[in-house]
Amino acid sequence: MMIQSSRKNSLLTRMWHARYVYLFMLPGLLVLTIFRYGSIAGVQLAFRTYKASLGIWGSPWCGLDNFDRLFRTPLAISAIWTTLEISLFRFIICYPAPIILSLLINEAYFKRTSRIYQTIYTFPHFLSWVIVAGILQNLLKTNGAVNALLVSFGMERINFLGSTSFFRFTLYASSIWKSAGYSCILYLAGIAAIDPGLYEAAMLDGAGRLQRMWHVTLPGIRGVILITLILNISGFMNAGFDQIFNLRNAVVANSAQIIDTYVYDITFAATPNYGFSTAVGLFKSVVNCTLLLIANTTIKRITGQSIYGGE
């Protein structure tokens, strides 16, 4: 008991000495508590038949009826499969892009040139998808700049945003253009922490640039790659709402209907059913959380590294 009491007093003493730091953190903690943890109480809507006159707490319980409706609604099932398909191809195509970009920037001969490249590639991240969607729609429409260029070369016009295959390609390409530069900052920071002596030793052994990247750079940033891999898998069911919402149109509506846009449509574009909408969102969150735990456990068993505590 005396040991526990001394530890408690020691902790309180350290907190008192750092009281200004905790005071500085207080606004952020309050925002996090109110808008993140406080809103968790609204999850109960997934198990209620919401009635505006009764409010959240007064609405009657309906058990798992909303989830039963979710798996019996063809549009919801289609949205789930579309989400999985888009997320899978987005992961395969887009996830390696910042890793490759960081390796290329790191291999730039002049460091000033690498900083210029990094600035150029990072800039699109700070543009909202509303702006990016407007730019793409003007470039890719049937009488836009891209089609005008194709016609000048004697090729036929392509309806990029009105064809399912080209629309998906546009999603992946614009996602790489917008996010790869910003995402590669993590990998560049990891590369900067690699001991330069390892590169010198590899050069003495006759290793070329590709061999140094493969045997020195990539193993040196393995921890960063694994962490971002786990985080990407944990957001597998998101599929990019902002991007798809701003780029979709009536022609590709069915092939671009992911879970988030489906929830938006049934909540704001039709007679709202907040209980059902909450159930769909809760289902997505549970799947993401499950994928996070599976990915973290699997990678920890294979490599010994974990998102919670490293090696």
Contact 247, 133 (CB under 8 A): yes
Indicate the angle between helix axes 129-140 and 145-152, nearest 10 degrees: 30
Burial of 256 (0-12, 13-18, 19+ CB in 10 A): buried
Give the model's pLDDT for residue 5.
55
Q: Give the pLDDT confidence score for residue 309 in this predicted structure.
A: 55
Backbone angles phi, psi at 106, to 5 degrees: -65, -30
Are 167 and 158 in contact, with CB atoms under 8 Å apart? Answer: no
Sign of torsion, CA 280 281 285 288?
positive
Q: Domains in the chain, start-ordered, CATH in brackets?
A: 48-128+175-303 (1.10.3720.10)
- In angstroms and rounded to an integer, the radius of gyration of the C-alpha atoms of the chain is 25
Paired tokens of 102: 């960081």
Q: Which residues contact 122 (CB under 8 A, 6 or more apart)?
A: 181, 182, 185
- d(Cα 297, Cα 299) in Å, to the nearest integer? 6
Task: Give the model confidence (pLDDT) of 126-140 as tens digits.
Answer: 999 999 999 988 888
Q: How confident is the model at residue 96, as a pLDDT?
A: 93
Question: pTM for this structure?
Answer: 0.81
Question: pLDDT of the chain along its 311 residues, tens only?
Answer: 445 555 556 778 888 888 888 899 999 889 988 888 888 888 888 898 888 888 888 888 988 899 998 899 898 999 999 999 999 999 999 999 999 999 888 887 777 778 888 888 899 999 999 999 999 888 888 888 888 888 888 888 888 888 887 888 889 999 999 999 899 988 998 888 888 888 888 888 888 888 888 888 888 888 889 888 888 888 888 888 889 988 888 888 888 889 999 988 888 866 778 888 889 989 998 999 998 888 888 888 877 766 665 45
Q: Encode 75-92: b = buried (16+ Cβ within 10 Å), e = exposed.
A: ebeebbebbbebbeebee
What pLDDT is stored for residue 77 in this prediction? Answer: 92
Are 278 and 42 in contact by the 8 Å Cβ rule? The answer is yes
CA distance 289 to 231: 10
DSSP code per residue over 266-277: HHHSSS--HHHH
Query: 48 phi and psi, to 5 degrees?
Result: -125, 160
Q: What is the pLDDT of residue 176?
A: 93
Dist. CA 184–CA 99, nearest whole Å: 6
